[in-house]
Amino acid sequence: MGNIDKYVKLTILLPDPKHIRSRKENVAMRSTKDFLLVVGGFLLGFILGDTIVKEVVRVLFG
């Protein structure tokens, strides 16, 4: 059983070179998706909260 555990740990630590690129692409896709979600949410919040922001700015700095 010990040898199997070592082999599993090695395969986890040292992945197949073919999978490294796809993993990097997956990370890039995930971060791009998160970025688009953040930007989209920010824009949506900005459009919806535009009147609130204007009111707050008017109250604070008006």
Domain count along the chain: 1
What is the per-residue pLDDT for 20? 58
Token pair of 29 as six digits:
């896709």
C-alpha 40/C-alpha 25 separation (Å) is: 22
What is the per-residue pLDDT for 15? 57
pLDDT in tens, 12-57: 555 556 655 666 777 777 788 888 888 888 887 777 777 777 888 8
Range of the domain at 20: 2-61
Token pair of 16 as six digits:
């197949």
What is the per-residue pLDDT for 53? 74
46 contact partners, CB below 8 Å, separation of at least 6: 53
Token pair of 55 as six digits:
């009111």
